[in-house]
Structure 1
Amino acid sequence: MDNRVNFHQSLDNLQQDLLTMGIQVEHLIHQAVESLSKLDENLAIQTIKQDDAIDEMTAKIEEDSMRLIALQQPMASDLRVISMALKIATDLERIADHAVDIAKITIRLNGQELVKPLEDIPRMAQMTQAMLRESLLAYTERNVHRAASLAEKDDEIDKLYGVVVNDVIALMGDDLARNRQLSQLMLAAHFLERVADHSTNIGEGVIFMVTGKRKDLNV
């Protein structure tokens, strides 16, 4: 009995670590896009440095997950929960990498003025942050409905990404420096679109974890 109590406590701790990591990753997205909106190189550098802490969190979650599997020999349902924790940690790490990618764009644009104030890219960032929160809540609550709702949110972000692409193309002309900046801004929007995809990946994993059935949310 004590072993099972310890196991479930360890499982709760693992999930809490994931939520903590998710909060940190969400903050990185916000910080990276803020650095881009303000062309704040110092904030971009700070964002890049903070990625090391995310990598450390990922390693800890991986180690704790493998230890639970090796020492506790969990039942099939619990094994799916632990396996999902490993997958979520990987998705969160990749989301953090995309935040770093956006921060690097800020650094590349250092010394320039934005062609126009950013509006849709910060909106995309807010939407992807909300998606990430939803995906993690779906995991901790074992909530299939919450997980499935991510498909509609992903569609909204895809549409907004399309708006950004069309706006960038419309603004391009003969000025090569201006075109390079616009291309970088479009790339930033692409990274946010990928963040949304990772959140839907988490949602798909939650549905499989709870039901044992696979559902593609990113179609």
Structure 2
Amino acid sequence: MSKHLDMDLERLHRSLLRMAGYVEDAVVTAATALQARDPDGCARVIAGDADIDRLENEVQDECLKILALHQPVAVDLRRVSAVLMITTDLERIGDMAVGIAERAAVVARAPYVPIPEAIGGMTRRTLEMLRASLDAFVHLDTTAACRVIRADDEVDRDNAEIIQGLIARMQAEPHLVEPAMSLFTAVRHLERIADHATNIAEDVIYLVRGEMVRHHPEVLSPP
């Protein structure tokens, strides 16, 4: 039984990483399309969301089969539970990428609105958090997971700064309200992606330590 469980857990691990690759590509493409005002990139992200949804269903089905067939306990049960939670966050990140792509398509049209320079830095930090949270899962690295959680404050500061600037622009130039609101929404989606990356990092800590750290910042210090 243990050998079959190990094989199924390894297959589950590979399936989750395949889904993560699709999601990361979607976020990168959407963010690039926003900066480049690229409607074709936007369309690719939107069309690709069905693949992410399909992979979510496949991973969740694998999790349920493992639970039913093997009735795992201890760390194996935590691994399956963590994968279920991470899969949900990845699917929502995919949805956020679609949201960015949809807003980027509006920004690409007239009237022209300048894209705040700070969005580039916020995008880089958000992608670093996403990649680091997934690396932490692969390597079971709680120290890296804690760094991801702490990095969310910086993205929140980026979000507040950019939103404030966009509100000022809309007040000064009412004819830019529509594209500026699309930028506003895209930035909020980036901030939410960082939140979901934080959730993944918290799930890694749960997997390794057996501790639920969400809403408990006092336990975030490395062991």
Superposed pair shares fold, TM > 0.5: yes
User: Contact conserved, 2:107 with 2:183, CA < 8 A, in 1?
Assistant: no
**Paired position in structure 1 for 2:79:** 81
Question: Structure 1 residue 217: deviation in Å?
Answer: 6.8
Residues 33 and 218 (structure 1 numbering): CA distance in 2 closer, same or farther, change over 3 Å?
farther
The 5-angstrom pairing of residues 9-28 of structure 1 reads 9-28=7-26
- Cα distance in 2 between the residues matched to 1:216 and 1:148: 12
- Partner letter of residue 155 of structure 1? D
Residues 60 and 88 (structure 1 numbering): CA distance in 2 closer, same or farther, change over 3 Å?
same
Aligned with 1:133 (options 128, 131, 139): 131
Question: Structure 1 residue 154: deviation in Å?
Answer: 0.6
Pair 1:5 & 2:3 matched: yes
**Paired position in structure 1 for 2:201:** 203
**Paired position in structure 1 for 2:29:** 31
Larger deviation, residues 88-97 vs 148-157: 148-157
- Partner letter of residue 183 of structure 1? M
- Cα distance in 2 between the residues matched to 1:112 and 1:78: 53
**Paired position in structure 1 for 2:56:** 58
User: Contact conserved, 1:36 with 1:102, CA < 8 A, in 2?
Assistant: yes
**Paired position in structure 2 for 1:172:** 170
Question: Structure 1 residue 39: deviation in Å?
Answer: 1.9
- Per the normalisation by structure 1, the TM-score is 0.91
Residues 218 and 16 (structure 1 numbering): CA distance in 2 closer, same or farther, change over 3 Å?
farther
- Partner letter of residue 23 of structure 2? V
Question: Structure 1 residue 174: deviation in Å?
Answer: 5.0
User: Contact conserved, 2:136 with 2:145, CA < 8 A, in 1?
Assistant: yes
- Of all paired residues, the percent bearing the same amino acid is 33
Larger deviation, residues 174-183 vs 127-136: 174-183
Larger deviation, residues 43-52 vs 206-215: 206-215
- Cα distance in 1 between the residues matched to 2:197 and 2:63: 20
Which SS does the other structure have where 2:171 is aligned?
coil
- Cα distance in 1 between the residues matched to 2:103 and 2:48: 16
User: Contact conserved, 1:37 with 1:118, CA < 8 A, in 2?
Assistant: no
- Cα distance in 2 between the residues matched to 1:90 and 1:151: 18
- Cα distance in 1 between the residues matched to 2:18 and 2:84: 15
Pair 1:148 & 2:146 matched: yes
- Partner letter of residue 111 of structure 1? R
**Paired position in structure 2 for 1:212:** 210
User: Contact conserved, 2:82 with 2:206, CA < 8 A, in 1?
Assistant: no
1:87-122 deviation line (CA, Å, top 9, x unaligned): 111100000000000111122334225422442223
Question: Structure 1 residue 74: deviation in Å?
Answer: 1.0
- Partner letter of residue 75 of structure 1? V
User: Contact conserved, 1:150 with 1:217, CA < 8 A, in 2?
Assistant: no
The 5-angstrom pairing of residues 172-191 of structure 1 reads 172-173=170-171, 175-191=173-189
| Unaligned stretches of 5+ residues in structure 2 | 218-223
Residues 147 and 190 (structure 1 numbering): CA distance in 2 closer, same or farther, change over 3 Å?
same
Which SS does the other structure have where 1:172 is aligned?
helix
Q: Number of paired residues?
A: 217
Question: Structure 1 residue 77: deviation in Å?
Answer: 1.5
**Paired position in structure 1 for 2:221:** none
Q: Note the aligned Cα RMSD (angstroms).
A: 1.8
- Partner letter of residue 91 of structure 1? D
